[in-house]
Amino acid sequence: MTPTNAAAPPPPETAEQLAAFEARIAAGEYIEPKDWMPERYRKQLIRMMSQHAHSEIVGMLPEGNWITRAPSLRRKMTLIAKVQDEGGHGHYIYCATETLGVSRDQMVADLLSGKAKYSSIFNYPTLTWADIGVIGWFVDGAAIVNQTVLAKASYGPYARSMIRICKEENFHKRQGYEICAVLASGTEAQRAMVQDAVNRWWWPSLMMFGPGDASSPNSEELLRWKVKRFSNDELRQRFVNLTVPQAQAIDVALPDPELRYDAASGDWHFGQVDWNEFWQVVKGDGPCNRERLAARNKAHDEGAWVRAAAEAYAARRAGAAASAAA
C-alpha cells in the first residue's frame, strides 16, 4: 500500500518538455520554482544547494570557537558579525532550496544524521587566532570565487541568494586578510603564527573546489544545465591566481614548492592536491567531523524549546485570527 504521506511520483518527462527546457537554458533564461524542470535538475539542485546551506551553518563552528578569545573588542565585534552572517547565508540557501519541494526539516535531519555532506574545509580545527584571519582570507576568498559564478546559475532563487551572500563574503575576506597582514608585519611570534596557519589551511582550501574535473561525476550535468559555469579545476586555478599575489604582498609563503608563474598561460602552476586526504575528510574521517556533527546535534536538541514555543505562539495567533473572523 502507498503510504498516505508519500509524495506522488512525478509524471513521466516528454521529449518535448526536455527540449523546451534545454532551449530555455541555452537562451540564458532563469528557471523559476513553478517552471517545469527535469526531475534530475531538481535533484541535482537539492543536493548541491542543501550541501551549500549545511556548509554555511557548520562553517559557523570553527570561527565561533574564537569569539570568546578574540584579541580586542573590535576583533570580537567583527567576528560575531561574520559568524552571524554565515548563519544568515545558511538560512537564505535553505529557503531557496525549499522552493524545490524539499522541507527544511528533512534537510536538517539529513545533516544531523550524518547523511548529508557539507564542505570538507569545516572539518579542520582552528588552533590559533591566526586561523581566523586565514579562514577569512582563504576560505571566504575561495567561497567568493565559487559563489560569484553561482550568482549566474540557471536556477533563479539560488542565483539571487548569492548576490547578497557575495557582498558579505567580500567583507569577510577583507577582515581576514587584514588580520593576516597585521600579524605578518608584527613580532617574530606573530609572523610565525600566521605562517603556520597558512601552511595548515592552504591545501584544504584548494580542496573546497571539489575533486579534479576527471573525478567529478556531477560536473558534466551541472555545466550543461548552467548551474555551474566553470569546472572545479578552472575555479581552483582562478583562486590560486588571485591569492598568490596577496600572499606576496604581505610576505607570507604558500606551502607549495611547485608554485611558479607560467607566463605562457598567465597561471600560477601549483602542486598536486592530496586527494586521499580530501576523500577521507569527505567520507567523515577528517580531524573534526565527529566534533562538528556532535555540536550541531547538541544545538538542535537544546533549541527544541524554541521550536516548541514558536509553534505554540503560531497556533495561538492562528486561533485568535480564526475567532476574530468568526
Which position among 64, 133, 157, 211 is part of the footprint of ligand FAQ (CB under 6 A)? 211
C-alpha cell at 119: 564542505
Question: CB-wise, 34 or 115, nearer to ligand FAQ?
Answer: 115
C-alpha cell at 267: 597561471
Could you tell me the CA-to-CA distances from 129 to 138, 141, 189, 283, 326 in Å, in that order? 15, 18, 12, 28, 60
C-alpha cell at 315: 497556533
The CB-of-64 to ligand FAQ minimum distance in angstroms stands at 10
Does 207 sit near ligand FAQ (CB under 6 A)? yes
Does 130 sit near ligand FAQ (CB under 6 A)? no
Residue nearest to ligand FAQ (CB): 59
The CB-of-232 to ligand FAQ minimum distance in angstroms stands at 5
The CB-of-261 to ligand FAQ minimum distance in angstroms stands at 25
The CB-of-83 to ligand FAQ minimum distance in angstroms stands at 8
Which among 272, 257, 283 is positioned nearest to 212, based on CA atoms?
A: 272
Does 164 sit near ligand FAQ (CB under 6 A)? no
Which position among 154, 161, 195, 219 is part of the footprint of ligand FAQ (CB under 6 A)? 219
The CB-of-277 to ligand FAQ minimum distance in angstroms stands at 12
Does 48 sit near ligand FAQ (CB under 6 A)? yes
Does 148 sit near ligand FAQ (CB under 6 A)? no
Structure-derived torsion over alpha carbons of residues 69, 70, 74, 78, reported in degrees to the nearest 10:
-110
C-alpha cell at 94: 535553505
The CB-of-59 to ligand FAQ minimum distance in angstroms stands at 3
Main-chain phi, psi angles of 260, to 5 degrees: -155, 150
C-alpha cell at 62: 570553527
The CB-of-321 to ligand FAQ minimum distance in angstroms stands at 38
Which among 223, 273, 263 is positioned nearest to 241, based on CA atoms?
A: 263
Main-chain phi, psi angles of 155, to 5 degrees: -90, 115
SS3 263: coil
CA distance 8 to 51: 25
Site stretch for ligand FAQ (CB under 6 A), options 30-38, 50-58, 194-202, 249-257: 50-58
The CB-of-114 to ligand FAQ minimum distance in angstroms stands at 13
Which position among 17, 170, 199, 218 is part of the footprint of ligand FAQ (CB under 6 A)? 218
CA distance 223 to 48: 13
Q: How far apart are the first and last CA of the chain?
A: 40
Task: Note the residue count of the chain.
Answer: 326
Does 51 sit near ligand FAQ (CB under 6 A)? yes
Does 59 sit near ligand FAQ (CB under 6 A)? yes
**C-alpha neighbours within 13 Å on the C-beta side of residue 155:** 30
Total residues in contact with ligand FAQ, by rule CB under 6 A: 28
Main-chain phi, psi angles of 262, to 5 degrees: -110, 105
Which position among 21, 41, 52, 173 is part of the footprint of ligand FAQ (CB under 6 A)? 52
Q: Which residues bind ligand FAQ (CB under 6 A)?
A: 47-48, 51-52, 55-56, 59, 86, 117, 119-120, 135, 139-140, 143, 146, 207-211, 216-219, 222, 232, 282
